[in-house]
Amino acid sequence: MVDYYKVLKVKRTASAAEIKSAYRKLARERHPDVNGGTERAAREFALISLAYRTLSDPQERAHHDTQLKRAHSDDFVGGSVFHTDNQHAQRLRRIAIQRRFDRRVDQIIEAERRENFALQQAVFTTVTLFLSTFFVSWFKPPFWYSFQFFGRAIVVTLFCIGLWHLAVRLKACFEHYTYNPKSIHDSLINADRGESDKPFTRFAASTFLILGFALSLSSGLLMGSVMKYMEIFNAIHYLFGHNFRPDLFFYPPIAVLIVDTMHNVASRID
């Protein structure tokens, strides 16, 4: 049986604060990102995470302590296959425990991968939205006027798909990373059911998106007004425009759709 106290290098009498401190120290040292990102490093980190989750939960810790006492007790008397001295039965018991442990470790590793993928999606979506808005408002590409009816229909179709994709992705990010703060009355009544595991409030995230979009738009317009008289703009005028037009709003959602699609394809290949 794995002794989670030994995994975290703490005493069995360690307090919750000591366990948390030990976990943070080991997490910084053993994180896969600083150890080559190998499967072995991921499994070691998953074991540390599993030990912390077990010992930080009072009920799980009590159960773990009971199992440790039972495993190390010399005066335990029993005739079941789980406590027999038969070598074959002990081997089967070790195999069963190891399989159960491997399943839990694999679950933690998979959860970490899903969390990293969700974080990447959130970052890719917001960064692409802000950067595309900045460059579109800066360069003001006149593509719309160079397209015929069929080309404009494609742009509008991609815009509708991209806008729907952006709304779905932002909704998923809000559900995963944000929460609505409770009123004082609800906090007092349901003090044990908070949402502290989510880092941002809905208001903070909404404010960040609105201000980020506005800042990207205004910064691009400012850059365009400053640099529109440069020779490069006159030399390749078919890529740069001088006036801000409503059709420019088509391009940021399309850019998000393209980048997210490429990211999903690359992740599946990897």
pLDDT at 189 over 50: no
Worst-scoring range by mean pLDDT, 34-43, 89-98, 184-193?
184-193
More confident residue, 156 or 182: 156
Distance, CA of 159 to chain centre: 26
pLDDT at 20: 87
Among 132, 144, 156, 130, smallest CA distance to 241 is for 144
- Give the C-alpha separation, 74 to 169, whole Å: 57
Q: So what's the pLDDT on residue 160?
A: 95
**Which is more confident, 5 or 99?**
5
Per-position DSSP letters for 93-123, written without gaps between them: HHHHHHHHHHHHHHHHHHHHHHHHHHHHHHH
The answer to whether 81 and 93 have CB atoms below 8 angstroms apart is yes
Q: What is the mean pLDDT of the chain?
A: 79
Return the biggest CA–CA distance within the chain: 91
Residue 50 — very low, low, confident or very high, per pLDDT cuts 50/70/90? confident
- Please indicate, yes or no, whether the overall pTM of this predicted structure exceeds 0.75: no
Q: Is 176 in contact with 205 (CB distance < 8 Å)?
A: no
- The whole-angstrom separation of Cα 187 and Cα 190 is 5
What is the reported pLDDT for 166?
93
> Which pLDDT belongs to residue 82?
47
- Domains parsed from the chain with CATH numbers: 4-71+81-111 (1.10.287.110), 117-184+194-269 (no CATH)
Percentage of the chain beyond pLDDT 90 is 22
pLDDT of res. 265: 85
What is residue 200's three-state secondary structure? strand
The answer on pLDDT for 213 being more than 50 is yes
Q: Kindly tell me the sign of the dihedral angle through the C-alpha atoms of 63, 66, 72, 78.
A: negative
- Confidence at residue 196, expressed as pLDDT on a 0 to 100 scale: 52
The better pLDDT of the pair 153, 86 is held by: 153
How far apart CA 193 and CA 50 sit, in angstroms, is 23
Mean pLDDT, residues 129-142: 90
Give yes or no for residue 210 having a pLDDT over 60. Answer: yes
What confidence score (pLDDT) does residue 185 get? 45
Tokens 């365009």 found at:
224
Q: Name the amino acid, one letter, at 205.
A: A
pLDDT at position 88:
54
Q: Between residues 83 and 182, which one has the greater pLDDT?
A: 182
Report how far residue 144's alpha carbon sits from residue 151's, in angstroms, rounded to the nearest whole number.
Answer: 8
Average pLDDT over residues 12-19: 88
pLDDT of 180: 80
Kindly tell me the sign of the dihedral angle through the C-alpha atoms of 72, 76, 81, 85: positive
Q: Would you place residue 131 in the very low, low, confident or very high pLDDT band (cuts 50, 70, 90)?
A: very high
Q: How far apart are CA 140 and CA 244, in angstroms?
A: 6
| Helix axes 87-139 and 202-227, enclosed angle (nearest 10) | 40
Q: Which among 65-69, 189-193, 215-219 has the top mean pLDDT?
A: 215-219
DSSP 34: G
Among 56-65, 192-201, 239-248, the minimum mean pLDDT is found in: 192-201
Query: From CA 185, how far away is CA 196, in angstroms rounded?
Result: 17
Can you name the residues that pair with 200 across neighbouring β-strands?
Answer: 178
3-state secondary structure of 49: helix
**Residue 164: predicted pLDDT:** 96
